Amino acid sequence: MKYPRPTSPLVLTSSVEMTISKSQRIQRDWSLRLEVLSISVMKWKRKKTARLRFYDSEF
């Protein structure tokens, strides 16, 4: 099947734009995941240090 000449660049640009937006969405998802991960790690570390301090004050 052959596209008429005028629409083929449009089809091409739209597909390229879709690919770009998809990759951007994936990047955003990953950055959000990394943010959540780092926040949870920080919380966990804080909890651990607080617990250690608590044990130190006990003895």
Tell me how many degrees the CA angle 39-44-45 measures, rounded to the nearest 5: 100
2, part of any domain: no
Give the count of domains, the chain.
1
6, part of any domain: no
By residue count, the chain amounts to 59
42, part of any domain: yes
Judge whether residue 54 has pLDDT over 90.
no
pLDDT digits (tens, 9 = 90+) for 6-49: 556 667 778 888 888 898 988 999 999 999 999 999 998 888 88
Q: What phi and psi, each to the nearest 5 degrees, are found at residue 5?
A: -50, -45
Q: What is the C-alpha separation between 40 and 48, in angstroms, rounded? A: 12
53, part of any domain: yes
What pLDDT, on a 0 to 100 scale, did the predictor assign at position 47? 87
25, part of any domain: no
41, part of any domain: yes
Domain residue limits at 44: 30-59
Three-state DSSP state, 49: helix
What pLDDT, on a 0 to 100 scale, did the predictor assign at position 52? 76
Q: How many other CB atoms are there within 10 angstroms of residue 47's CB atom? A: 10
What pLDDT, on a 0 to 100 scale, did the predictor assign at position 35? 93
